[in-house]
Amino acid sequence: MNGAPSGGDTAIPDGTWEELVTTALLGTDRRAPAHVPPGRTAPAALLDAAAVATVRRRAGLRPGRAARRPERAPADPRPPLPAPAARRLTTLLADRSGGAGGGRRGSSPDLIELLPQWLAAANAHGYAAPPQALPALLDAARGRTDLRPAALAFAGPRALWLARLNPDWRFALRAAPGGGAALPDAEDAEAVRRLWQEGLFAERAALLGALRARTPGRGRELLASTWAAERAEDRLMFLDSLRTGLSDADELFLEQALGDRSRNVRATAADLLSALPGSALAARMAVRATACVALDRTGDGPAIVVEAPHECDADMERDGVVATPPAGRGERSWWLGQLVESAPLGTWPERLGGRTPEEIVALPVTDGWQGELHAAWCRAAARQRDAAWSRALLGSPSAPEAGGPGAVSLAERAKLLASLEPDERAAWVAGFIATHGLSEAFQLLGVCAVPWAPPLGRAVVDALDIARDAGSYPWSFSGVMGLAERCLDPAEATRLESLLAIPDEPEDAAPGAGGYWAEAFQRLVTTLRLRAEMTRELLPPAGPCEEGAQPPDAAG
């Protein structure tokens, strides 16, 4: 054979590759090769034989069958991005720093932090993603779950096509309705029934979610048709999907779910029913709660008197009351809180002398029950999204305790604020910041609409200016500064220009703090101007008439 190693005959009998491997593993001292030509040592003969066998194995391979070519990527009928916006997207995706977190961040904007806002604006315009940007867009969404909904909506059907070709992007298939498969038309009853009965759990959950978003009754009826045969964990997940489009029409089904053999399913059904103030469960809870809370007129003035439940009976447990309190909570206060938070808030004015929510929360509560009672009303107001009660429980933003009578934590205040209209929400948070500064405002700012209303934006900028004048480093305000970069109205950039200079530092100021503040404000101004430019770039290209030119038939 041409090209065979020198040193004599190296012919190898058929089927000896395994023997060669075994000899190499054991060593030629322990097992000599089967054929050693004269003048060759055993190791050299083994290597010669292995070389010949390798050539034979490679030459004898049959060519593999060609793989089937992938289908063409689906078309995206949406209009393409304007060229400047496409270039901006490339720049945003190239910045993978993800923000520097605490400490010194420099004066350059965190571009990746602007990507969610850019995607939301691009989706609002209905643009299609540039094909060449899809891999980087999917990589960014893979690393940040908060980006996925907007990124996949922008990427469109081609993202699913790519995800089927790259295991790293399989999350796109899981996030898509039906795992990337198209859901049947809601009007195709047979296709809907077949998918519901034969589909995978993810496909069925997507189908139920889609039906609840469009025709809630159809979704509920579909779930009821197989409810008894579903596994407990699946019943829990499906039941939670009824939050979408929840209405009084769901009450009968939810009442039946109160008798479910799964404790978690019963608790979820009770939670959903308590969000329906007109439900029978809400009425039962109102009867129980009003038996515990009454108006006392025997003293110098009216007051609320509380008599917490002495037991948690079987009917209460069926209606979702958890009998065993968490560690550190008394049983009676635990039961009371659950009853009050599940009762319709409209119950209390009639029970407490026809008073308004503001008048009710202003009443004294005897025997130290005020904190427990008001905290339960807070949970009820957040669950029922009752603006009047939320307003009353929040109280004045300038209150000494930085909150209303029932707002015992910033998280609870944030939930109450979510029940208010955006402008009122922004005004309340602005008042809070004006009185208490920014040290506790981060959670409250997070529930305000973007861009921030002018009064809120001014309050934040003024508070940052005050913090700068105090002479501390800006790093303790990095969270608020990051929110401001994303949420301030870009028009505020002009007002901020006066803060770019390095101020004279007081004697007790931290060394170099003024320079760091100037750097932080420079980054804020640069980011606001960049956001304004991004908004302009996403506008559809103007036609000749929109640019000021006369239409052809008007010339002359």
Confidence of residue 187 (pLDDT cuts 50, 70, 90): confident
192 and 184 Cβ atoms separated by less than 8 Å = yes
Q: In whole angstroms, what is the distance from residue 74 CA to residue 170 CA?
A: 18
Residue 293 is classified by DSSP as E
The residues that bridge with 80 in the sheet, in sequence order, are 128
Instruction: Report how far residue 367's alpha carbon sits from residue 292's, in angstroms, rounded to the nearest whole number.
Output: 13
Residue 546 reports pLDDT greater than 60: no
pLDDT value of position 12: 46
DSSP string of 294-319, one letter each residue: EEE-SSSS-EEEE---S---HHHHHT
Per residue in 509-531, pLDDT (tens digit) is 677 777 888 888 999 999 999 99
Query: Over the stretch 384-415, which tens digit does the pLDDT of each residue have?
Result: 999 999 999 998 898 765 455 666 678 888 99
Coil, strand or helix: which one is 94? helix
Residues 6+ apart with CB under 8 A from 20: 12, 33, 46, 49, 50, 53
pLDDT at 179 over 60: no
Q: What is the pLDDT of residues 423-441, one digit of tens each?
A: 999 999 999 999 988 888 8
The pLDDT of residue 124 is: 95
Please calculate the CA angle 344-393-432 and round it to the nearest 5 degrees: 150
More confident residue, 276 or 500: 276
Report DSSP state, residue 98. Answer: -
- Percent of the chain scoring above 70 in pLDDT: 88
pLDDT digits (tens, 9 = 90+) for 126-143: 999 999 999 999 999 998
Q: What is the pLDDT of residue 408?
A: 64
3-state SS class at 80: strand
Rounded to 5 degrees, φ, ψ at 170 are: -65, -20
d(CA 418, CA 391): 11
Q: What is the pTM of this model?
A: 0.73
* 68-84 pLDDT tens trace: 888 888 999 999 999 99
What are the contacts of 431-434 at 24+ separation with CB within 8 A?
A: 431/396, 431/397, 431/398, 431/459, 432/397, 432/398, 432/402, 433/459, 433/460, 433/463, 434/397, 434/398, 434/459, 434/462, 434/463
d(Cα 138, Cα 158) in Å, to the nearest integer? 11
Phi and psi dihedrals of 101, rounded to 5? 70, -145
What angle separates helix 370-384 from helix 410-417, to the nearest 10 degrees? Answer: 40
- Per-residue pLDDT band at 18 (split at 50, 70, 90): confident
List the structure tokens of 42: 């055993």
Top pLDDT among 23 and 102 is at 23
CA-closest candidate to residue 429, choices 387, 459, 406, 400: 459
Radius of gyration of the chain (CA): 34
> Which tokens belong to 67?
């793989």
What does the pLDDT read at residue 333?
A: 95
- Nearest Cα neighbor of 336 from 369, 360, 367 is 369
Q: Considering Cα of 441, then 442, then 444, then 450, what sign does the dihedral take? A: positive
